[in-house]
Structure 1
């Protein structure tokens, strides 16, 4: 099945980007429940499942997240990076008729076993607040760095190649055809679902826990939206073991500068340009940093992206006075109800 998103010329001019901490929480919980995500998240999922086992609303979360996702859980952000609490407030205040309709559309007969909409939104919002605090907030600094770095790349693609250039490199399952976006799902058969943006434009949102899927809201209430896999996600959970010899090898101004720069995923040429050294020198220093367990490297297409590990972040914070950003394959896209 595919989704067609129709955009007028005016709506194409309203294409914008955003990051949603609430969506990452919802999709992260879904991955921990075993209903989504990918093996790339396995290190995080192992820890998350232990925490999630003690959640008092685990049954309710399973009922809502193990199938098609109700759209009321994914309010489209009105700004580039909304506060988690503001997004959660939109869930709490969602109209009862809208919540009921979305649950019925997403869950079918199973929706009859859910609480009344007012109680449902309050209970699920409280549960998601706890899940965010315990499961996502400790990693949000690194997650945000990956997501915002992706936004930067997409903005450059938009400037360099226009809308056509942007969508050409967004995801293999997203195709631009003169005013219409076609988003393919895992099921390549069946009638296409048509989405009208309704004059509100399109919001593009990179996602960590949605990776590797493309997620589209089939029935948007305002702007149409696409959540697509962020580049560099595979770097987030890699945590190589450090050795005392390796740690000794990272001493020096250039390597310290590399660690400071790698709070976001960067390529070797980008690091060389930023530090004013040759790509060969950067590669040599990165090898030492990887050996010390301070940097992780993952290939993304033809480009190798580097990101400091949690150990690297803690060392940078302690040594250089930089605020820490962490606390204490298939490429097929899925099309869900919710963005």
Structure 2
């Protein structure tokens, strides 16, 4: 089925980009249930399934996620990169009538198996919190780096080619024509569903666990939204080769450990906590690694974030002798 999203000129001016940790958790749980996932996530799913099997609300999650997805599970982020807890608060505060209507539309007769909306929201929010902590949070640093890199790429596309250039790069199924955004589905060819943005604009969100599909909210409460496959997902779960046995002897154990950790952007306090050393010691070692061209540092306000350079990555990826 194709989805037509109608956007006025004012709504085109409100097109924005965001990331949703809550949506990644929902879609990740769905993939671990064996629904809607892709082979690219196989290694993560293999680790996640035994953990998910112990979840007390697994039957409820199955009911909600194994078929069409109720839109209330995907509140549209109000900022570019909201905290998971912020989005979860929005989920808990969902209008009960909206929740009931969405469950009926997505689940049909099975909606009668669910508890009332107030109890449902509380149980689902608690279950998703546990799933996020156990399944997503340990990998969120790498996931966030992939998602933010995608946002940067789309921002450049917007600057270079305007909204038309931005839409042209999202996905082969997404077509922009004369003020109307069309997302071509792969099921029920010929059917068309129209979505009105209602004056609230459109939010575009890259997704790791939605990959490689495009997901559209058919019944938005505020801004219309599209979740599209983030670029770079294919590399997300790749495990680096063992570092050279002699690297620690050359650089020292702490500096070698710093390089190993900096495959994702991390702050000085993050590194200190992971390595069990003081922030001052981390700063000293980072200075040496920076001077050798192995680490780069960017600063936003008073926060410094560090990442391996290509040279540093090549060094850590050398096979053992």
Give TM-score scaled by structure 2 length: 0.79
Aligned to 1:115: 115
Aligned to 2:225: 225
- Give 1:148-227 correspondences, 5 Å limit: 148-187=148-187, 189-227=189-227
Q: Any idea what SS the aligned residue of 1:172 has?
A: coil
Indicate conservation of the 8 Å contact 2:243/2:317, yes or no.
no
Shift of 1:291: 3.6
RMSD, aligned α-carbons: 2.7
* Cα distance change on mapping 1:175 and 1:259 into 2, 3 Å: farther
Indicate conservation of the 8 Å contact 2:242/2:316, yes or no.
no
Q: Any idea what SS the aligned residue of 1:182 has?
A: strand
* Cα distance change on mapping 1:119 and 1:67 into 2, 3 Å: same
Q: Any idea what SS the aligned residue of 2:146 has?
A: helix
Separation in structure 1 between the aligned mates of residue 140 and residue 46 of structure 2, nearest angstrom: 17
Aligned to 2:237: 237
Shift of 1:91: 1.4
Indicate conservation of the 8 Å contact 2:15/2:201, yes or no.
yes
Q: Any idea what SS the aligned residue of 1:94 has?
A: coil
* Cα distance change on mapping 1:283 and 1:74 into 2, 3 Å: closer
Indicate conservation of the 8 Å contact 1:246/1:288, yes or no.
no
Separation in structure 1 between the aligned mates of residue 7 and residue 184 of structure 2, nearest angstrom: 17
Verify: 1:56 aligned to 2:53, yes or no.
no
Shift of 1:186: 1.9
Separation in structure 2 between the aligned mates of residue 249 and residue 6 of structure 1, nearest angstrom: 61
Runs of 4+ residues deviating >6 angstroms: 248-252, 255-261, 282-285
Separation in structure 1 between the aligned mates of residue 109 and residue 11 of structure 2, nearest angstrom: 36
Shift of 1:140: 0.9
* Cα distance change on mapping 1:170 and 1:113 into 2, 3 Å: same
Separation in structure 2 between the aligned mates of residue 178 and residue 126 of structure 1, nearest angstrom: 43
Shift of 1:288: 5.0
Q: Any idea what SS the aligned residue of 1:227 has?
A: strand
Aligned to 1:263: 264
For structure 1, the 5+ residue unaligned runs are 265-271, 276-281, 294-339
Aligned to 2:66: 66
* Cα distance change on mapping 1:179 and 1:131 into 2, 3 Å: same
Separation in structure 1 between the aligned mates of residue 146 and residue 118 of structure 2, nearest angstrom: 35
Shift of 1:83: 1.5
Separation in structure 1 between the aligned mates of residue 249 and residue 193 of structure 2, nearest angstrom: 56
Indicate conservation of the 8 Å contact 2:263/2:313, yes or no.
no
Indicate conservation of the 8 Å contact 1:246/1:289, yes or no.
no
Q: Any idea what SS the aligned residue of 1:145 has?
A: helix
Separation in structure 2 between the aligned mates of residue 69 and residue 172 of structure 1, nearest angstrom: 23
Verify: 1:127 aligned to 2:117, yes or no.
no
Shift of 1:137: 0.8
Number of equivalenced pairs: 277
Give TM-score scaled by structure 1 length: 0.75
Indicate conservation of the 8 Å contact 1:114/1:120, yes or no.
yes
